[in-house]
Amino acid sequence: MESNNDHTFAACLKCHAINRVLHQYVPQAVCFNCQSPIKFKKLVSESTERNFKDLVQTSDLVLIAYFSTPSCMACKIFNSQFEKASIENLNLVFTKVNIQGEDPFAAFMEIKAYPCLILFKNGFEEKRHYGIMNDLSLKEFIQ
């Protein structure tokens, strides 16, 4: 997919700083603040309750947040689709939010089921989807 964007955003899971990462540096990304490695799967970074809000507010790009838990079986199926979408849509920021043991946060975000996808524009929720999607419906959701 064509894109003129060259960067994404990711939270540091150690110090919670929000990093702007050029796509070319994703494989060896380290936090500007604490030098910890920032791990990506394709172009999907991981976020937590601690840094998710900052990530949404900092990103100057449309951000897709994928809320999941390690115990969610449907999420295991959906992971690879989400990761694939991240390299096909370089103009967006993809993050996976692990919400295991974060019940107050899940309640705050009003997440009723997993997987849950929420698309944010300019820091605000634009739309959300519950349940797994096929490639086509994911493509439509992203647009």
Contacting positions for Zn ion (CB under 5 A): 12, 14-15, 17, 31, 33-34, 36
Which residue, 15 or 74, is less far from Zn ion as judged by CB? Answer: 15
C-beta separation of 45 from 39 below 8 A: yes
Task: Supply the minimum distance, in Å, between the C-beta of residue 95 and Zn ion.
Answer: 16
Calculate the CA 20 to chain-centre distance: 14
C-beta separation of 70 from 77 below 8 A: no
Cβ count near 13 (within 10 Å): 18
Task: Supply the minimum distance, in Å, between the C-beta of residue 97 and Zn ion.
Answer: 18
Which residue, 17 or 87, is less far from Zn ion as judged by CB? Answer: 17
Which residue, 31 or 75, is less far from Zn ion as judged by CB? Answer: 31
Residue 25 DSSP class: G
Task: Supply the minimum distance, in Å, between the C-beta of residue 33 and Zn ion.
Answer: 4
